[in-house]
Structure 1
């Protein structure tokens, strides 16, 4: 399965929003790396934005899953008797956006923690 297929299966609206949050987060990561390692500027300004946009990616994924499951349950309720395999497939698809957001959040948390620790160590010496 290709990445682009997962993108569309997860819902282009929410996967697109998560991708936008990811790009904005990466812009702040690059900006902070330039400030720390090239300009030797150890201020905390902008550091928390990395974590903010990573968190927004995760929350957007959860919201996409909740809306998708709500719509799926409406269809299941209207159809009546549905096979368990169909429901399992729907649950599998509903997990794509939250997983994408969760991976972005983990990355942002790791980068935020590493940059914060590096800044704290450099500013105390």
Structure 2
């Protein structure tokens, strides 16, 4: 992994991703409840997708990031057919540790908010340690 990554990965990087809620995204479908609204695991996946998008073009060659910690408050229900947007902002870079603040909104209302931490890793070495192929 190149050390120059610290300059490319600087606080302030942002990304926004959207999801139109389908039946497959509901708490019923993902097993996190029995109501037909956006399930918390899908909210989390959307938040993480925004963090990945925020740094994707700034990673050193051969590197990737992996999630290590999440704090998420899912505050409002979102029915099928509505579109939610997750906005991630890189707020802290501490060597390989990246900290993001994430807000998920729908129609101007906060659906969820939280913090996601990721770590910069060498993709090949990570996969070898995990026992998978690169």
Whether the TM-score (by the shorter chain) exceeds 0.5 is: no
Compare the two structures and name the one with the higher helix fraction: 1
TM normalised by structure 1 equals 0.26
* Greater relative contact order, per chain length (Cα 8 Å cut-off, separation 6+): 1
